[in-house]
Amino acid sequence: MTQIQKTVAICVVAGMALSSSSAFAQSKPDDERAVGSKVTLSTCVEKGQKADTFVMTHVAAVPAHAPSHGRVVYWFDSVKPLRAHVGHQVNIMGTITDVDSEEMEVKLGEDGKGGWTVEVEGPGRDVKATPAQLGVSTAGRKSGKADIQTTVVKVKIDTLTMVSASCSTM
pLDDT tens for 37-68 read 999 999 999 998 888 888 888 888 888 877 77
Compute the distance between CA of residue 170 and CA of residue 158 in angstroms, rounded to an integer. Answer: 23
Least confident of 98-107, 137-146, 150-159: 137-146
107-110-114 Cα angle (round to 5): 100
Q: Which of 14-28, 74-88, 132-146 has the highest mean pLDDT?
A: 74-88
Strands (E), 63-129: 71-76, 89-108, 116-120, 127-129
Q: How does residue 155 score in pLDDT terms, banded at 50, 70 and 90?
A: very high
Q: Do 35 and 97 touch, CB atoms closer than 8 A?
A: yes
In the chain, the N- to C-terminal Cα span, in Å, equals 11
| pLDDT interval class at 166 (50, 70, 90) | very high
- pLDDT tens digits, 66-122: 777 788 888 888 889 999 999 999 999 999 999 888 888 888 865 556 688 888 877
- Model pLDDT, residue 83: 92
Question: What's the confidence (pLDDT) of residue 125?
Answer: 73
